[in-house]
Amino acid sequence: MENINLIDTFSEFKELKNIDRATMMSVLEDVFRNMLLKKYGTDENFDIIINIDKGDFEIWRNREVVEDGEVEDNNLQISLSEAKKIDEDYEVGEDVTDEVKLPDFGRRAILSLRQNLTSRILDLEKTNIFNKYKDRIGELITGEVYQVWKREILILDDEGNELLLPKSEQIPSDYFHKGDVIRAVVVKVEFKNNNPVIILSRTSPVFLERLFELEVPEIFDGLITIKKIVRVPGERAKVAVESYDERIDPVGACVGMKGSRIHGIVRELKNENIDVINYTANTQLFIQRALSPAKIVSIKLYPDDNKADVFLKPEEVSLAIGKGGLNIRLASQLTGYDLDVYRDQEGMDDEDVNLEEFSDEIEEWIISELKAIGCDTAKSVLEIPEKELVKRTDLEEETVQEVLKILKAEFE
């Protein structure tokens, strides 16, 4: 019965954990030999036969036949009279092989054997999971939500392995229930407290890249290359693409007929706005495309400092900056240049005054706040209602009122 229990224990792991046959055989034999070493001090004269298909095993001991009274080691030798009880034909000097039954080891040894076997299989399984996923970093994984916690979500893959999606790696508007099917990329695989931990992400740019590969065959086939992706998860993303085939329009291929290809990606990303941009090595043109939909008048580059001054018509400034400065921030990340937006001087009112001229009356950090929303002249600030200025900047209402008072005084 104990024999059957042990094999059942192993069979359960074999069935559920997908351990290969050679490894199973090796683990079983190693566990049994450790038990033999503890009981007999050696395992060299034992043969272990394991039949995984039938679910059983046998342990055979080899001993030399010696004259009665000359037995020095009961494990290695057997007296002639004892040998003849097994078979009358045995003679001194021959080897006797007899089966050792598991109950002979005692209940405590058998219990220890089972615990050892379970422990070894668990360790193997942990190593297998770690090895499986450490080579899959960056891969898209589809799993089922098993448990939702405050700080993370537990996901099971198709083999029942546990994966984690931390809150920090979720799109802010993500909301999942138990049983939901979820897609994410593997971003980190590590051992923590002797357990493999597989971390997934839906905020990584790699996740967006894998979604494009799924939706756009030309990217999957290598005809279109994604040069760079920057994103604020759930809000906006910019994707620079390039085609090695002049006949293929990379932006059109990514967007699809009437947006058919990109709509699926946008839905997966909880309506994240995605700007697909044609990559170019021409820095000025690339910056111009990155700041789309704003139309640029001119750009002044400072390559040594990775900076650029961008000049636009007054009505285009807010488009270039975007809500909360999001558009210009992503454009800067995409191009690798710090971008400063200015109103085109040619189109500026001759009577208007740059905010820098008020640095003796208005603190520099307040001027920076106003510039961040595209206001670099006095009149550009005065054109915006007081409540709107408070809303769009981090300035207090009293501060905004004081600034407006100083600027108005300039034109009175």
Check residues 149 and 69 and name the one with the higher pLDDT: 149
Radius of gyration of the chain (CA): 37
What confidence tens digit (pLDDT) does each residue in 176-214 have? 999 999 999 999 999 888 889 999 999 999 999 999 999
pLDDT bracket for residue 56 (50, 70, 90): low
Backbone phi, psi, residue 50, to 5°: -115, 125
In the chain, pLDDT over 70 holds for what percent of residues? 92
In the numeric block, the tokens 């939706």 are attached to 215
Distances (CA, A) of 280 to 240, 251, 288, 298, 334: 9, 13, 11, 17, 12
pLDDT bracket for residue 2 (50, 70, 90): very low
pLDDT bracket for residue 54 (50, 70, 90): low
Break the chain into its structural domains and give their ranges. 2-131, 136-203, 349-411
pLDDT bracket for residue 295 (50, 70, 90): confident
195: number of Cβ within 10 Å: 12
- What is the rounded (10 degree) CA torsion for 267, 272, 277, 281? -130
What confidence tens digit (pLDDT) does each residue in 26-42 have? 777 888 888 888 888 88
Beta carbons of 387 and 366 less than 8 angstroms apart = no
Beta carbons of 79 and 44 less than 8 angstroms apart = no
State the pTM of this model: 0.67
Average pLDDT, the chain: 84
Q: Does the structural domain 2-131 have CATH classification 3.30.1480.10? A: yes
pLDDT bracket for residue 16 (50, 70, 90): very low
What confidence tens digit (pLDDT) does each residue in 231-279 have? 999 999 999 999 988 888 999 999 988 888 999 999 999 999 999 999 9
What confidence tens digit (pLDDT) does each residue in 311-330 have? 888 778 888 888 888 899 99
- Across 98-114, average pLDDT: 76
Q: What is the pLDDT of residue 160?
A: 86
Q: Beta partners for 188?
A: 199
Is pLDDT at 78 greater than 60 in this prediction?
yes
Backbone phi, psi, residue 270, to 5°: 60, 50
Residues 6+ apart with CB under 8 A from 99: 58, 59, 60, 61
Is pLDDT at 378 greater than 90 in this prediction?
no
Is pLDDT at 371 greater than 80 in this prediction?
no
CA distance 166 to 168: 5
Entry field: residues in the chain: 412
CA distance 110 to 118: 12
The topology under which CATH files domain 136-203 is: OB fold (Dihydrolipoamide Acetyltransferase, E2P) (2.40.50)
The beta strands (E) that lie in 7-138 are given as 46-51, 56-66, 77-79, 95-99
- Across 150-157, average pLDDT: 93
